Amino acid sequence: MARKKDNHLSFIQKTAESHFGEPVLDIKTPGGSSRASCRLLFADYSVIATKRPNFRRTHLEAAALRNISSICDKVPQFLGLVDDVLFQGDVGSNRLNIAINQSKGLLRDDIADQAVAAIFEIQTAARATLSDTPLPPLGVSENWITSLVDAMDVLKPYGGLSNQLDRPALAQALAVKPQQFVKWDCRSGNAALDTSGKLSWFDFEYCGRRHGAEDLAFLIADEVWPVDPATMLTIVTENLRDTEIPNSAAYLSYLSLYTTFHALQRLTLIVEETRKRGWRSKTRVLERDDVGKHPEFAANICKIGGFFADRHPLTQPLLRNFAAAETAFRHMLTQRRENAIA
């Protein structure tokens, strides 16, 4: 297995040296040697090289970056695609998930505002540059929608689900037309701040078309995201005024609906992962950009889900379940702290 990984990095190194015409001095794998991306260090600069097992995703990401980066500086610069290896600019190693958790007060809110504004800027640039580029529709199958709706079953242990929840109506509301570019997977671990503090989003392998608000939902309903949901809603609303989106009320309504179900998906992941592997420290979760396997992160995603569930009539019955789940995880957190002291 180690030989396969070494061969993988060796191939990337040789391809990079041929493409850039100078030797690679070192290769860093901050996400682990099994990850598709690595950082190549040259004499005066560094680049990110990506070779995914599914080469089609690499080519999709290359097409998105090639076009968007031509008019938008909130994504890595496209530097080439050679032998299924994508080269892109290095936007920094200070990942957003860690930077936002290490910041406080107004600085934290400012970083959150940058993250939201950058998503809207990227989508605007995509509309201008990718109109003729075939992008896959996302979340359109009946099975995908059904699975999304059924994610609310994770809350059954917390008081049982209300019979007022209308699954067919929820499925219909979530089944939107794939008309807007979405980066997808806008979790905070997929953005970084450079040395000047400028924020950029990376990892466009899953990009496609859907409503558009999903990108914001990925960010807001990231269990490690420390900015409270009310503040995030204000930040989104303020940035929405600077876009060409015509019906902000409808947009925010769908954002609330989708954020609720994305929070349910994240909670399901936390429950499944902790059942298999147990809880982890917050530091380890953040450093590895892992599922939020810590009671505080579990409680946080319940708080986020409850806030947005209360903002949409179809999901309001879930508020009491989210609240009960949050209470349970906070009690678990208190017990862990008391045991640590003892």
Which residue pairs from 159-164 have beta carbons closer than 8 angstroms and sit at least 24 positions apart in sequence?
A: 159/320, 159/321, 159/324, 161/317, 161/318, 161/321, 162/317, 162/318, 162/320, 164/317
Q: What is the mean pLDDT of residues 289-312?
A: 98
5 has pLDDT over 60 = no
3 has pLDDT over 50 = no
Helix axis angle for 248-277 and 142-150, nearest 10°, is: 70
Residue type at position 47: V
Whether this prediction's pTM lies above 0.75 is answered by: yes
1 has pLDDT over 60 = no
> Computed over its alpha carbons, how large is the radius of gyration of the chain?
21
Is residue 57 very low, low, confident or very high in pLDDT (cuts 50, 70, 90)? very high
What DSSP letter does each residue of 132-177 carry, written as one string? TS---B-S-SHHHHHHHHHGGGGGTTTT---TT--HHHHHHHH---
225 has pLDDT over 90 = yes
Is residue 34 very low, low, confident or very high in pLDDT (cuts 50, 70, 90)? low
Give the residue carrying structure tokens 């299924």: 84
Residue type at position 82: V
Is residue 32 very low, low, confident or very high in pLDDT (cuts 50, 70, 90)? low
**What is the set of domains in the chain, with CATH numbers?**
2-89 (3.30.200), 94-341 (3.90.1200.10)
More confident residue, 183 or 341: 183
75 has pLDDT over 90 = yes
Work out whether the CA dihedral 315, 321, 327, 329 comes out positive or negative. negative
Residue 290's contacts (CB-CB under 8 Å, 6 or more residues apart) are 280, 284
For position 35, what pLDDT does the model report?
74
**Whose CA is closest to 174, among 262, 290, 97, 113?**
262
Is residue 8 very low, low, confident or very high in pLDDT (cuts 50, 70, 90)? confident
More confident residue, 338 or 109: 109
CA dihedral 68, 70, 71, 77 (to 10 degrees): 70
CB 77 within 8 A of CB 69: yes
Token pair listed for 269: 């992941």
Angle, CA of 11, 14 and 20, to the nearest 5°: 135
The string of pLDDT tens digits covering residues 247-270 is 999 999 999 999 999 999 999 999
Is residue 4 very low, low, confident or very high in pLDDT (cuts 50, 70, 90)? very low
Is residue 342 very low, low, confident or very high in pLDDT (cuts 50, 70, 90)? very low
246 has pLDDT over 80 = yes
Token pair listed for 49: 């090289």
For position 2, what pLDDT does the model report?
41
Q: What is the mean pLDDT of residues 73-89?
A: 97
Q: What is the mean pLDDT of residues 17-29?
A: 97
For position 336, what pLDDT does the model report?
83
Determine phi and psi for 44, rounding to 5 degrees.
-120, 0
Calculate the average pLDDT of the chain.
95
**DSSP-derived secondary structure letter, 311:** T
Helix residue spans in the chain (DSSP H): 2-20, 55-68, 96-102, 105-129, 142-150, 167-174, 214-220, 229-240, 248-277, 282-288, 295-309, 319-341
Token pair listed for 311: 């903002």
